[in-house]
Structure 1
Amino acid sequence: MPASFNHTIVAARDRTESARFFQEIFEAADAPSWGPFTNLLLDGGVLIQFADLPVEAYPEIQNQHYAFLVDDAHFDRAYRRLQDRAAEHWADPQMRRPGETNTEHGGRGVYFRDPAGHFLEMITRPYL
């Protein structure tokens, strides 16, 4: 059996707030949560688990990059939600084109941050 991606843990200061943000933007499904995790399920069975990191042990969260592939209709809905939130966003990962989206790689894309500061990317066409 070839390897497939199953789950990841996303560090948060408020796991419920972070999960709610991902659910709102990426339209992820609720999944059973347990222990220290608040869980969401993406298409393809990928589980995203949000876990609070204690400030005393981790004064800063190491920001990660998470990229999500969505269709054009989903992009429109999610981008409208970002705009409604007045969420800071960029067309490029270097954050030189604020308030824009891009049309690179034959689709559209945008970069923004989640409540914990992770750098998120939403694209409508895969790079490969």
Structure 2
Amino acid sequence: MPVQLNHTIVHARDNRESAAFFADLLGLDITSEWGPFIAVALDNGVTLDFATVPAEHITPQHYAFLVSDAEFDAAYEKITTRSLPHWADPHQKHPGEINHNDGGKGVYLLDPTGHAMELITVPYGGWPQR
């Protein structure tokens, strides 16, 4: 079997709030709750397992998601309708904008815990030539 990422734990101030924010933004489902975890499944079988931890144990992380144009547009509609702060760049120098890197669309925003979320429609460097 090839090596695959199965799941990762995402530290949150409130696991339910963060899982619901993420699932709603990207049109995903909360798939399970067990122990301290609330899981959101991605289309490639990976789950993000949100766990409530004390604030002093949270180090903001960066999570980048490759999405379709339709998924991006739906998420961006939610971002703008809800007036969520967002940027075209990871250094937050272009607020309220998206980027068009590699011929696609991209945006950065923060989740309720302060993790950086990036949505892109084309992988870095563009699609491989076939």
> TM-score, normalising length from structure 2?
0.92
**2:33 matches 1:33:** yes
**2:119 matches 1:122:** yes
How many residue pairs match? The answer is: 125
CA distance in 1, matches of 2:61, 2:67: 19
CA distance in 2, matches of 1:30, 1:18: 11
The 5 Å alignment of 1:11-50 reads 11-50=11-50
Matched with 2:93 is 96
Question: Structure 2: where are the runs of 5+ without partners?
Answer: 126-130
Q: Which runs of 4 or more aligned residues in structure 1 lie more than 4 Å from their structure 2 counterparts after TM superposition?
A: none
Cα displacement (A) at 1:54: 2.2
Percent of aligned pairs with the same residue?
A: 51
Give, as a single letter, the amino acid of the residue that structure 1 aligns with 2:66.
L
The DSSP-based 3-state class of the residue aligned with 2:50 is strand
Deviates most, 29-38 or 87-96: 29-38
Matched with 1:109 is 106
The 5 Å alignment of 1:57-76 reads 59=56, 61-76=58-73
RMSD: 1.1
Cα displacement (A) at 1:7: 0.6
CA distance in 2, matches of 1:106, 1:5: 27
Closer, same or farther in 2 for the Cα pair 1:60/1:84, shift >3 Å? farther
Matched with 2:83 is 86
